[in-house]
A and B are shown apart, each in its own frame.
Chain A
Amino acid sequence: MATTTAAVTLTSDLLSDNMSVSASTTCMKAGTTADGLDQMEYGYLDLVTGDEYDLIAATPTATKASKLYLKNHSTDETYFIAVTQNAQAIGKLYGGDWMFIPADFHDAAGDIAITANGGTNKICYALFHEGTALVTT
């Protein structure tokens, strides 16, 4: 079984006592404990301003257990990318920010799209999934 593990440590001193949360999960196929995600794509790209682009164009099999990691590697903190799914705004990743979500490619419109602001943003992403509809040539 392929094994993909995602761990996070979150700390904050905003509260009266320091908060520290650690979590780790093994990324499994949908609804099973026996089989891990076994396919992935990984990329690093320059994202120019001006248009919205599909980062993931809803090709992984719908309603499965895909996991998407996305980081804005821009070093200018005023740069950001706006992230949407199916035209619904999720939020903005400023330079240095990352996100990790269980992306739900529920139908052909469920694309993950990104738009650069401030200048050309440098993006790193990884999608772990369990199946993709390949496009024939």
Chain B
Amino acid sequence: MATTATISISSDIAPGFGGISESMTLTQAGNLIDIDSTTGFSIRKLSADSVVDLVTMASELVEPKDSVAAKIFIRNIGYKGVIDKAVGVTIGVNAEPIGKLYGGDWMMMPLTCIDADDITATPATDDTVVLEYVMFYEEA
């Protein structure tokens, strides 16, 4: 079993920049064994500019192992086919804002999965927006 993620970045900002194309296989911490647990693919519709937990670490059905090799993918897919680049959702970890996903933007980052480090989402406005996300982790 394997989970892989490939990123490709192209840019014409800097002359001569050849772009980035990298793949990774999601493995367990410190070895080459494939990561073995996932939340599954989920969507969350947000219609208020208040903070919500996208992932509440202490409430996962299967307890994730702390401080190892977890990853999360999150994407702002807009609402009903309309992707608004002007409206963003701030993604946070334990109340620390990591960054804002505008319409169509995606992110992939490692996680600690410790109980305090919930993944939060705070829309900038009350316009309806949908996030899709999936977390991969090791079972505790």
Contacts and interface: CB of A to CB of B under 8 A. Distances in A.
B38 A15 contact: yes
Interface residues of A, number: 60
A137 interface: no
A103 to B, nearest CB: 5
Contact of A11 (B3, B69, B111): B3
Interface in A73-124: 77-78, 80, 83, 85-86, 88-94, 96-104, 106
Contact of A14 (B1, B22, B117): B1
A14 B86 CA distance: 35
Given A15-B38, A77-B27, A90-B93, A4 B67 contact: no
B14 A91 contact: no
Nearest to B86: A31
Contacts, number: 199
Nearest to B37: A14
B110 A88 contact: no
Interface residues of B, number: 66
A34 B101 CA distance: 17
Contact of A28 (B29, B75, B85, B98): B85
Contacts of B63: none
B73 A8 contact: yes
Interface string B83-99: 00111101101101111
Contacts of B59: none
Given A4-B10, A14-B36, A99-B108, A89 B98 contact: no
A32 interface: yes
Contacts of B31: 77-78
Interface in B26-43: 26-27, 29-32, 35-38, 40-41
Nearest to B8: A7
Interface in B91-131: 91, 93-94, 96-102, 104-112, 114, 117
A101 B107 contact: yes
A69 B9 contact: yes
8 contacts: A4-B9, A4-B10, A31-B86, A31-B87, A89-B67, A91-B109, A91-B111, A98-B7
Given A78-B31, A94-B27, 20 more contacts: A3-B10, A6-B8, A9-B5, A9-B6, A12-B2, A14-B38, A31-B86, A39-B13, A80-B29, A89-B67, A91-B110, A91-B111, A92-B112, A96-B27, A98-B108, A99-B110, A100-B109, A102-B105, A126-B20, A128-B13
